[in-house]
Amino acid sequence: MPFNFSGKKMLVTGAGKGIGRGVAIALSQSGCKVYAVSRTKSALDTLVEEYPSIVPIEADLCNWDDTRVIIEKLEALDGLVNNAGIGGHDYTALECPRDYLCKLLDNNLLSAINCSQVVAKKMIEAKVKGSIVNVSSIGGLASFSNALPYHVSKAGLDMATKQLALELGPHGIRVNSVNPALVTTPMTQAYIENAGESVFIERCPMGRIIDVHEVVDPILYLLSNHSSMVTGQTHVVDGGILSNITVKI
């Protein structure tokens, strides 16, 4: 499916690497003006070196007030991809400390809500009918061990998607989530190497780990007019994992 975002303006968070970087590049290649946010300057530098039209924004999205100041300076946008986030599986549910829980909520949930508030208000003021896509996880729909804060943050993001879709729909703004399973990104590479690839694919009917482009394409679809009546939805990209309750027999 061809995507043409010529003349569009979009913000992508967590754009330094992984899914966010893939989205930023794909949008730029399709004619979009891309604002790429990352807290890592070196990652932004290499991104802009490869794609000079991308506008880099170095920011820590966990800083609520500073983030609002930065985004409010931008022009009205046509789209937002809330991709910034971190993993977290260091404590059991009974031992997870408050600070760790708050860290995951700040990174994975509150930062997305904050960015969405500012971007959506500017869309409404400019009468732009845009699209917001939240990069969630199957971790918002099912659980695995030692990941209480991660699951809570992603489940909360899915509900924020529905709430924003409800309230922004009358303004012509759509809001959806994309919920992938494990994707081959720098953040997940250590998990794969430590546990072994078979652990992650034994319940996957498709028999492999997801490539970045297989998540990027659904995000582009949700940003585009091809999904003009799709909103408030969670779009699972998991190779069938959630359909399977057994290990190989």
pLDDT digits (tens, 9 = 90+) for 31-63: 999 999 999 999 999 999 999 999 999 999 999
Per residue in 214-231, pLDDT (tens digit) is 999 999 999 999 999 999
Provide the pLDDT for residue 44. Answer: 98
Which architecture characterizes domain 9-235 according to CATH? 3-Layer(aba) Sandwich (3.40)
Query: 150 an active-site residue?
Result: yes
| Residue of 8, 33, 150, 221 marked active site | 150
User: What does the domain layout of the chain look like in residue ranges?
Assistant: 9-235
The reply to whether the predicted model has a pTM over 0.75 is yes
Neighbouring CB atoms inside 10 A of 100's CB total 15
CA distance linking residue 36 with residue 169, whole number of Å: 25
The reported pLDDT for the residue numbered 23 is 98
Q: Per-residue pLDDT tens for 74-124?
A: 999 999 999 999 998 889 999 999 999 999 999 999 999 999 999 999 999
**Radius of gyration over every alpha carbon of the chain, rounded to an integer in angstroms:** 17
Count Cβ atoms below 10 Å from residue 167 Cβ, excluding itself.
12
Asked whether 25 and 10 are in contact (CB, 8 A), the reply is no
Q: Which of 17, 154, 162, 191 is catalytic?
A: 154
Residue (of 26, 32, 25) closest to 48 by Cα position? 25
Q: What is the pLDDT of residues 111-159, one digit of tens each?
A: 999 999 999 999 999 999 999 999 999 999 999 889 999 999 999 999 9
Residue type, 153: S
Q: Is 8 a catalytic residue?
A: no
